[in-house]
Amino acid sequence: MGADRKDIARYAISLGDDSLILGQRLGEWCGHAPTLEIDLFLANIALDLIGQATLLLDYAGTLEGEGRDGDKLAFHRDVLDFTNCLLVEQPNGDFGRTIARQFLFSNFQLLLFQALSNSTDATIAGIARKAAKEVAYHARVASEWMVRLGDGTEESAQRVAEGLDWSWRFVDELFEAPDAKLIEAGVAVDPASFRPAFDAAIDAVLRDACLARPADRRATVGGRRGHHSEHLGHLLSQMQFLQRTYPDARW
C-alpha cells in the first residue's frame, strides 16, 4: 500500500549498491592474493556480486523510467547518491579482515535474499532466488576460512580476530529497517526478523573458529542515507575513472 515505483527503485538501488561496492572491493585482491585458490574464490565471489548488482540496478533504472540503466547508475553517481551499507566499503585490510567482512556480509545477505525470495515484487523475488543460491556458497566458503584462520596459527587467529573486531561496529547497520511502506507492501523485508538466525549462524562458526564474539558497541550507521566513510570516494574514483574521463564512452 502506498509504495510506488520510485520507492521500489530506491530499495533496489540500496541492494544493488551493497553488491556492487563489495564486488569492487574484492576485485582489488585480483592478482594479489597469497595463493591461487584464494585469488580465484575472491574473484568469483566478486563476479557473482557484480552480476547481482547489474540485475538490481538495471531493474531500478527501469522502475525510475528516467533512462538510466545499471551502468549509468554504477558509473554516473557520486558518493552521496550511493546507499550501500558501510561494511562493504571498508578497505580490504589484510586477508583476515577481508574474510571477517565477507563472513558477516554473506551470512546477512543469504538470510536477506532467502526472505526476499517471497517478495511481492516478482522481479526482486526472482533476483533474490537466483542470488541466494550463489550467496549460500559465499557464506560457506567465508565461514570455512573463519575456522581455518581462527583455529589456525597464533598469528592467523590474532589477525582474523582483529578483522572481526574492526568490522563488528558495522553489523547493526545491516539490520536497519528499510522504508516502512515497502515492508508493509511486502516488497521489502525488515531484517530484524532474521537477526536471531543471523546471530545463531555467526555464533556457531565463531565457536568452531575458537573466536570470541566481539563486545557490542555503538553502531556506526549512515550509509543508507548516503553518509559514507572517506573510503567510498576513493573506491569510486578508481571504479568510475573511465566514465569520469570520457563521460560518453561506448564500446
Nearer residue to other proteins within complex by CB, 138 or 228: 138
Which part of the chain contacts other proteins (CB under 8 A), choosing from 36-44, 76-84, 102-110, 240-248? 36-44
Taking alpha carbons only, the member of 22, 48, 10, 11 closest to residue 189 is: 11
Strands of 45-141 (E only): list them.
Answer: none
Nearer residue to other proteins within complex by CB, 70 or 223: 70
Binding mask 110-129 for other proteins (x = CB under 8 A): ------------x--xxx-x
The identity of residue 229, as a single letter, is S
Q: Count each helix (H run) and each strand (E run) in the chain, helices first.
A: 12, 0
What is the DSSP secondary structure assignment for residue 212, as one 8-state letter? P
CA distances (Å), 66 to each of 82, 175, 251, in order?
Answer: 17, 30, 22
Residue 248 neighbours by CB under 8 Å, 6+ apart = none
Task: Measure CA 104 to chain center.
Answer: 9
130 is an interface residue for other proteins by CB under 8 A: yes
Taking alpha carbons only, the member of 4, 118, 7, 13 closest to residue 61 is: 13
Q: How far is the CB of 122 from other proteins (least distance, A)?
A: 8
Q: What whole-number distance in Å separates Cα of residue 207 and Cα of residue 249?
A: 50
Using CB under 8 A, count the residues that bind other proteins: 26
102 is an interface residue for other proteins by CB under 8 A: no
Nearer residue to other proteins within complex by CB, 52 or 90: 52
Q: What whole-number distance in Å separates Cα of residue 66 and Cα of residue 73?
A: 11
Nearer residue to other proteins within complex by CB, 131 or 211: 131
Residue at grid coordinates 540503466: 69
Residue at grid coordinates 580465484: 40
47 is an interface residue for other proteins by CB under 8 A: yes
41 is an interface residue for other proteins by CB under 8 A: yes
Which part of the chain contacts other proteins (CB under 8 A), choosing from 43-51, 82-90, 165-173, 181-189? 43-51
Which part of the chain contacts other proteins (CB under 8 A), choosing from 48-56, 92-100, 199-207, 210-218? 48-56
Nearer residue to other proteins within complex by CB, 86 or 132: 132
51 is an interface residue for other proteins by CB under 8 A: yes
230 is an interface residue for other proteins by CB under 8 A: no
| C-beta separation of 174 from 108 below 8 A | yes
The identity of residue 183, as a single letter, is I
Which part of the chain contacts other proteins (CB under 8 A), choosing from 49-57, 180-188, 189-197, 206-214? 49-57
C-alpha cell read off for 64:
525510475
- Point out which residues bind other proteins (CB under 8 A): 23, 36-37, 40-41, 43-44, 46-52, 54-55, 122, 125-127, 129-131, 133-134, 141
